[in-house]
Amino acid sequence: GAGVSQSPSNKVTEKGKDVELRCDPISGHTALYWYRQSLGQGLEFLIYFQGNSAPDKSGLPSDRFSAERTGGSVSTLTIQRTQQEDSAVYLCASSLFPFPGQDSPLHFGNGTRLTVT
């Protein structure tokens, strides 16, 4: 079946511009996560959505970052006034249940590689 889909796969933008990244989770998955991964670094948690609950935004690095999830499905991550340090791979993951486990693993998309010039 279809996995987690992210678009675009690559994005090059100029410093100061806004960008919008999209994630289409697996159908029926209630939990959705955004992470970013810089070169040689681990995955950094950004934001978590679970059903209709208020999102956990504790990982967002600054107020330039925001995300929404419409209708409990598609999510968009918006970065305003991009900076060079925002360059990274942005990964979206979804899981069937809110408690990750063997029966409800995280399924990751291929990521969006963002380059800010």
Q: Which residues bind other proteins (CB under 8 A)?
A: 31, 33, 35, 40-43, 45, 48, 50, 53, 56, 58-59, 91, 98-102, 105-106, 108-111
CB of 25 within 8 A of CB of 7?
Answer: no
Smallest gap from Cβ 106 to other proteins, in A, equals 6
CB proximity list for 17: less than 8 A, separation 6 or greater: 81, 82
Question: Cβ closer to other proteins: 9 or 62?
Answer: 9
DSSP structure class, residue 73: S
Question: Cβ closer to other proteins: 78 or 99?
Answer: 99
How many C-alpha atoms does 109 have within 13 Å on its Cβ side? 28
Smallest gap from Cβ 24 to other proteins, in A, equals 14
Question: Cβ closer to other proteins: 53 or 117?
Answer: 53
Token pair 């969006």: residue: 112
CB of 10 within 8 A of CB of 113?
Answer: yes
Alpha-carbon span 53 to 57, nearest angstrom: 12
Smallest gap from Cβ 18 to other proteins, in A, equals 25
Question: Cβ closer to other proteins: 25 or 111?
Answer: 111
